[in-house]
Chains A and B, each alone.
Chain A
Amino acid sequence: MKISHLTDFVRVMLDMSVGDAEVIAHQIDDFASELPGTASFALGQGVAFVNHLVKVKLRKSLSSLTNKEGEEAFRIISKTGIGKDLINNLKMFILLVYGSNRSAEIISKVANRFEQKDDPEINTVDIKDFPARETCDVLIIGSGAGGAISALELAGKGLDVIIVEEGRRFSVDFFRQNDGLTRFKELYREKGATVAIGRPFVVLPIGMGVGGTTLVNSGTCFRTPNNVLDDWEKRAGVDLYEQDSFSKHLDFVEDLIGVKEASLDVMGNNGKLALKGAKALDFKAAPLRRNAPGCKGSCQCAIGCPNSAKAGVHLNALPAASKLGARVVTSAKVVRILNDGKRAFGVKAVGGGREIEILSKVVILAAGATQSPQVLKKSGIGSHHMVGKNLAIHPALSACGWFDEEVNSSQGILQSVGIDEFHESDGILIEATSTPPGMGSMVLPGIGRELKSNFDNVNRLATLGAMVADLPSGRVVGKLQPLIFYQLAKRDLLKLKKAIEVMGEVLFAAGANQVLTGVNGHEVANDINELREIARNARANDLHLAAFHPTGTLRMGLDDADYPVDEYGRVRGVENLYVTDASVLPTCPEVNPQVTIMATARAIASQIVVH
């Protein structure tokens, strides 16, 4: 990518001097070079094409235009479909880097405020120091929500457990001493740039490290809704979701990870405004229940909690499993589950220039809904036609409100309040979520001076997010590198549009004088009627979607023709192989799923008998 092209783009976008823009351009270039091939290539091409469009439309090169002229040029080329999309998507990269820089200051202030709590010990061994051949009783692929709980359960039965984790161990030091962009790049798979292809495309950040996505989730905990459990039990035929027996596992998980209602003391204004708006409209709303008992409101859940308050599994299940003898091999990517076609008996993993093999009596796959199907396929045992299909992602979008008073949403709980007025009726769950600007799905509107001014006033911006319980409209394909496709269903598009409306209503009711809709081309609504109009006319392609809860790619159920995993969590056709991650959830769980995933993992693991 030509730095000069990118510098010009940034200069115009953020109304900056060439020198400042160049710094940011280099940062973006560094970031892009570490992205998977397709993404960095696309970025480079996109920037070049914008320059090309400017030349075509204005017969002048972008480098010769001033910032003000450049703004106008961008506005002109935004009139074309491709120009609009390009500028919008490239803007996201710039905002990511710029937003990270701006929030770095706030983060560093927080990092020094509270005393560091040392990490509990986990028995980790880097693959470089692990023997090339080893045996154990139970081998678990992935140390996230599902994998960690399975490890705890089976180590508790006295079995020799080894977890193979593709990522590395992140200590609380790492969170406290690094800036947001670095943490973002390291803690997420593919530097956070995983994208589900479709119209619109959906950003799907997936965590990677010891603790999996629980390292970077927002800590929101919901028990599985009864209507979902009912559906899973009756329609999919999975007895372990029977409400009474399953609630015992839910209880265990909530106790283990320390679920409590978010405290108003540390909540921050973002959440309080959400509560205020909901109350004014008489919407059902309450502080969220979270696994963050000692939360200090540092608002960094998505890039690792510096206060060790948000209790990902690296703070509870994994240390407990380690005490019972479980080991975690880190930086080890499983490339094959060893099998003879009928029976799984171990894994082969690579990392650090080495290849290791571990034989075990039972193999548990918990690599996540977007990775687990590929592991099966690479091992030659993913031939069931539903492997990788049935992907539901729980798509989300954001809306923001400008307030007269200071909101300072980057101080307080990142995801603090839940408004579930429309949850039962429409599957819409609204949560007050304040990701640092540029790092979330909200793209601040404007180009140049308008954008810069928005950034300068971001302390008066409150953000809401909405997730929609979707149909399983996606699939994960490919053997070597998983490719995710997701085509938003019509029904779900309508729900998303309604969600924008509802969020706008809440923001206005809370006292916002302007709402940022997040809809491309119609970013600003000055009153509720304008908002409703924008929402009604929004097209799929105009939405900025993100999703954090992929499920269902190895769904479990009774019918062997339609469910690749049986009702006990066993992969059909292969003995001694279980799946205990989000892939087995038959449909979208309609709420933040970490508790559901952990309880499912426990239910499956507790039934595993090893000889």
Chain B
Amino acid sequence: MSLETRFHERMSGYWIEKKDTKKSNTYNFCFEIDVRLDGVMNLFATQKAFFKGFVTAENFATNKEIQGVLETSPFIKRQLRYSFSFFNDEGVECKFDGWKSIAFLDPLRTWTTLPGTLKDMSGNMIGEVLVKFNFQDTFSFLSSFRLSESVKDEDLFLKRLTDEYLSSRKGRLEVWYDTFSDDKHGYWIHHELISSIKGETYSTGWIAIFELGKKPIFERFEDRDILDSKYFKTDSVSLTPIDRIGKTKNIEWDIKVDGKSDPLYTFGRLSWKKETLPASQIVPLPTAKYTGTIKVKGKEFKIDCTGASARIFGLGNAKRWVWLHADLGDNNVVEVVSAVSKKKYLENLKPLSFVKIRFDGKEYPINSLLCAFFFKTEITDNSFRVSGRFPRLRVDIKVSQPRERCVVVDYLDPDGEAAQCINTEIADVDIRVMRKIKNEWEEVFVKRLEGCGHSEIGIRQ
């Protein structure tokens, strides 16, 4: 793991379309980017950062995704070079290349002015661009700087209950679970490692296939023998960051996972890395592509779905909990985990509701742990509702999972206590998220998902 600097920048101005005739038209141009740099930002060196974002060039490209490179070298080369590519409204790939030329005697202008060119992929000039940093954005720009440890996707899949870890700690569990679905079916693979307080480590898991109107197919697997691997591996089931392979009595599966999205830290990074909470959940791949096959007693299911791969780690299952993963398309997801801890003094608290919404490349709220105290969760047998208001965010999520659409799974905690979990991938979800911008509430997302929400309710008898 290494350090990573992130910040968010917005620049706007105009672009001049170069036409053959004498007349040239001037249009608006602006782009907004999330920049990610390996290491600590050092203005006295030359560094290369990568960014993703969106661009709008009036009359040319509307809110198109961009990705590019920012080379910062303000004191050595005296330039900050931005280059990115994107597809315009007509689907033609174009690239922007420009740089700020730093002059020490005129810092305010030169650090905020970015002239550049817009060209097609063969190098033909489309237009000239001039964008500037708006000084009104100064506070949000500076406050967007983050210095954190960067984690590779593979690292998030690493087995944490290694022999070394378990030599000093007992009573933990660790879960890898994938939920993926297409128009007709929902698939769920659950891999779990448990280290009981007595010191025994064993694995458990299950695979389920959901279809609206039909009884879900469900099968468990359990193994005492855990094989040596960086990730989850037993005699019959194995998992790596890119594939899931397994065999139970009646079901066989071989799936490839391909995901390039940023992880969602539902409980915040610190809780996953440093175990600051009794348990933590993260979603290493919030939107991934699953391809392969699942065979059930001869019947073959061809897999070509989108889904998510999530992880749980902690002391055990919560006293009561709910979980939701809703894929809203276009890399937008909603992830909710509400839980009441089993720990002696925490069990009387209301459920802590961890909500993470990723919409349009932005995450709300930024600090889910803080907001968790402000949301409330109401749980019934077949449904739950998470709602609340944090100063600038309003959330109302209703999940309905009729019993016939679910599988009921029994669990044993590391301390031997039993819990039950009711899971489905064909839940109905109503989501309403609103954000306050400049004293006015703006809808971030309002949607109803029928029969494609992945959710679970966890209870104890």
Which residue numbers of A lie inside 8 Å of B, CB to CB? 131-135, 160, 338-341, 345, 348, 357, 359
Contact = CB atoms under 8 A, between A and B. Distances in A.
B99 A133 contact: yes
B115 A133 contact: yes
B73 A131 contact: no
B128 A338 contact: no
B76 A133 contact: no
A132 B115 contact: yes
Contacts of B79: 338
Contact of A340 (B73, B97, B117): B73
A167 to B, nearest CB: 24
Nearest to A160: B123
B98 A133 contact: yes
A357 B97 contact: no
Contacts of A132: 115, 128, 130
B248 interface: no
Contacts of A133: 97-99, 115-117
A378 to B, nearest CB: 14
Given A133-B99, A338-B79, 16 more contacts: A131-B117, A131-B125, A132-B115, A132-B128, A132-B130, A133-B98, A133-B115, A133-B116, A134-B117, A135-B97, A160-B123, A338-B77, A340-B73, A340-B77, A348-B101, A359-B99
Contacts of B98: 133
B46 A357 contact: no
B130 A338 contact: no
Interface of B: 46, 73, 76-79, 97-99, 101, 115-117, 123, 125, 128, 130
A528 B198 CA distance: 124
A341 B77 CA distance: 8
Given A131-B117, A357-B101, A340 B125 contact: no
Contacts of B117: 131, 133-134
Nearest to B18: A131
A345 B77 CA distance: 9
Contacts of A341: 76
Q: Is the interface of B mostly helix, strand, loop or mixed?
A: strand
Contacts of A359: 99
24 contacts: A131-B115, A131-B117, A131-B125, A131-B128, A132-B115, A132-B128, A132-B130, A133-B97, A133-B98, A133-B99, A133-B117, A134-B117, A135-B97, A160-B123, A338-B78, A338-B79, A339-B77, A340-B46, A340-B73, A340-B77, A341-B76, A345-B77, A357-B101, A359-B99
Contacts of B123: 160
Nearest to B77: A340
A162 to B, nearest CB: 13
Closest 4 CB pairs of A and B: A132-B115, A340-B76, A340-B77, A131-B128
A424 B251 CA distance: 99
B118 to A, nearest CB: 10
Contacts of A131: 115, 117, 125, 128
Nearest to A134: B117
B237 to A, nearest CB: 49
Contacts of B128: 131-132
Nearest to B99: A133
Contacts of A339: 77
Q: Is the interface of A mostly helix, strand, loop or mixed?
A: strand
Contacts of A357: 99, 101
A20 B98 CA distance: 58
A341 to B, nearest CB: 7
A340 B73 CA distance: 9
B70 to A, nearest CB: 15
B124 to A, nearest CB: 12
A329 to B, nearest CB: 14
Contacts of A345: 77
A341 B123 CA distance: 29
B87 to A, nearest CB: 21
Contacts of B97: 133, 135
A345 B128 CA distance: 21
A340 B44 CA distance: 12
Contacts of B99: 133, 357, 359
A340 B101 CA distance: 13
A130 to B, nearest CB: 9
A232 B78 CA distance: 38
Contacts of A348: 101
B146 to A, nearest CB: 28
Contacts of A134: 117
A160 B98 CA distance: 18
B61 to A, nearest CB: 19
A344 to B, nearest CB: 11
A340 B79 CA distance: 10
A131 B78 CA distance: 19
A134 B81 CA distance: 12
A89 to B, nearest CB: 40
A160 B73 CA distance: 25
A357 B117 CA distance: 12
Contacts of B130: 132
A338 B46 CA distance: 14
B97 to A, nearest CB: 6
A340 B78 CA distance: 8
A294 to B, nearest CB: 35
A339 B128 CA distance: 24
A339 B77 CA distance: 6
Nearest to A130: B128
A359 B71 CA distance: 14
B106 to A, nearest CB: 11
Q: Which of B46, B73, B99, B125 has the most CB of A within 10 A?
A: B99
Contacts of B73: 340
B83 to A, nearest CB: 9
A338 B78 CA distance: 8
Contacts of B116: 133
A357 B80 CA distance: 13
Contacts of A160: 123
B363 to A, nearest CB: 33
A357 B77 CA distance: 13
B76 to A, nearest CB: 5
Contacts of B77: 338-340, 345
A47 B172 CA distance: 101
Q: Which of B76, B98, B101, B115 has the most CB of A within 10 A?
A: B101
A345 to B, nearest CB: 7
A131 B130 CA distance: 10
A359 B46 CA distance: 16
A339 B303 CA distance: 54
A172 B125 CA distance: 31
A161 to B, nearest CB: 14
A338 B79 CA distance: 10
A251 to B, nearest CB: 35
A345 B123 CA distance: 19
Nearest to B123: A160
A131 B98 CA distance: 11
A339 B101 CA distance: 12
A133 B97 CA distance: 8
Q: Which of B77, B125, B128 has the most CB of A within 10 A?
A: B77
A404 B416 CA distance: 130
A517 to B, nearest CB: 55
B372 to A, nearest CB: 47
B82 to A, nearest CB: 10
A455 to B, nearest CB: 49
A340 B123 CA distance: 27
A559 to B, nearest CB: 30
Nearest to B78: A338
A339 B130 CA distance: 23
B39 to A, nearest CB: 19
Nearest to A359: B99
A131 B125 CA distance: 10
Contacts of B78: 338
B238 to A, nearest CB: 44
